[in-house]
């Protein structure tokens, strides 16, 4: 991937591409936008669909220090019968023309669904286009079964290996669903060791467990060798997005 500016690590990336996939985390646009703007100063970058990125740039909330990833495949609406049919809604050329650092692409891998084959073909095309354009590509491979993400370590490792060996330069995966502490740290380390590129771990939905559980998860990821976190709902749905982002950043960056 020579000539492509790689993601500096460790990194905290704000994930803000949920709404376009029918996950209406915050219905009110002004509230959603304000939460993103409050969190961004503590984040190293953002992944989002077209409108949030454009609006944040127009509002002066993105700086030269922010990595910016245009989320390009969003047709697989959450809970739909066509959820695995995840086609492009934007393109690598558009990301390049608009000056974003790269693209974000999600690929779900379901061994029982034939739609996985064209999804992997599409991923290969996106990786090739991103390399030709000199853009980074943040790839989210998800093991998928029965309409749900597989969060066991075996599935996360397998999905990571598949996209890594296809050429993914940065990977974003779930935190393994194992016991917190030493067991989770070992699981994270196993995922990281399975590939040779930075691995970000996604934050998932905001839960009743609160901030302490989130912070414990971040600590385990970083202790296990993760390159950082890609977090959205747990930050921008927090009552104080700026404070939440700042606290997570301190953990990611070892402060």
pLDDT tens-digit readout, 62-74: 999 999 999 999 9
Using 50, 70 and 90 to split pLDDT, how confident is the model at 5? low
Rounded average pLDDT over 77-90: 97
pLDDT of 2 over the 90 cut? no
**pLDDT number for residue 242:** 98
Domains of the chain: 13-252 (3.20.20.70)
Q: Are the C-beta atoms of 33 and 55 separated by less than 8 Å?
A: yes
Q: For the beta carbon of residue 179, count every other beta carbon within 10 angstroms.
A: 10
CA distance 253 to 255: 6
**pLDDT number for residue 4:** 64
**pLDDT number for residue 235:** 97
**Token pair belonging to 230:** 């890609």
SS3 162: helix
Using 50, 70 and 90 to split pLDDT, how confident is the model at 149? very high
pLDDT of 12 over the 70 cut? yes
CA distance 143 to 188: 16
pLDDT of 3 over the 60 cut? no
Q: What is the DSSP letter of 113?
A: -
Using 50, 70 and 90 to split pLDDT, how confident is the model at 93? very high
* Phi-psi label, residue 149: left if phi above 0, alpha if psi -120 to 50, beta otherwise: beta
Q: What is the DSSP letter of 64?
A: T
Q: How many CA atoms does the CB half-sphere of 146 hold within 13 Å?
A: 2
**Token pair belonging to 158:** 């397998």
pLDDT of 169 over the 50 cut? yes
Rounded average pLDDT over 138-147: 97
Rounded average pLDDT over 175-198: 98
Rounded average pLDDT over 149-165: 98
170-174 and 148-149 beta bridge pairing: unpaired
137 alpha-carbon distance from chain centroid: 11
CA distance 207 to 83: 24
Q: Please provide the average confidence, as pLDDT, over all residues in the chain.
A: 96
CA distance 21 to 154: 26
pLDDT tens profile 192-204: 999 999 999 998 7
Using 50, 70 and 90 to split pLDDT, how confident is the model at 207? confident
CA distance 30 to 27: 9
**Residues 227-237, buried b or exposed e (16+ Cβ, 10 A)?**
bbbbbbbbbbb
pLDDT of 18 over the 60 cut? yes
Per the model's pLDDT, the better-predicted residue between 1 and 26 turns out to be 26
């Amino acid at each position: 991937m020579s000539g492509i500016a790689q993601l500096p690590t460790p990194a905290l990336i704000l994930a803000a591409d949920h709404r376009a996939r029918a996950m209406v985390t915050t219905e009110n646009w002004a509230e959603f936008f304000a939460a993103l703007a409050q969190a961004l100063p503590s984040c190293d970058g953002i992944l989002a669909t077209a409108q949030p990125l454009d609006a944040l740039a127009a509002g002066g909330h993105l700086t030269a220090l922010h990595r910016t990833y245009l989320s390009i495949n969003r047709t697989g609406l959450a809970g739909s019968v066509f959820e695995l049919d995840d086609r492009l809604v934007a393109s690598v050329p558009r990301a390049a023309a608009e000056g974003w650092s790269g693209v974000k692409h999600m690929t779900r891998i379901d061994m029982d669904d034939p739609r996985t084959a064209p999804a992997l073909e599409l991923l290969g095309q996106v990786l090739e286009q991103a390399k030709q354009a000199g853009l980074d590509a943040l790839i989210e491979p998800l093991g998928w079964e029965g309409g749900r993400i597989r969060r066991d370590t075996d599935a996360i490792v397998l999905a990571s290996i598949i996209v890594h060996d296809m050429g993914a330069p940065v990977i974003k995966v779930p935190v393994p669903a194992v016991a917190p502490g030493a067991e989770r740290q070992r699981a994270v380390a196993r995922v990281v060791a399975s590939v040779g590129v930075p691995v970000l771990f996604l934050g998932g939905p905001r839960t009743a467990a609160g901030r302490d559980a989130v912070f414990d998860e971040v600590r385990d990821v970083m202790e296990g060798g993760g390159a950082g976190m890609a977090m959205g709902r747990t930050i921008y749905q927090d009552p104080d997005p700026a404070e939440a982002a700042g606290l997570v950043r301190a953990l990611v960056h070892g402060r």
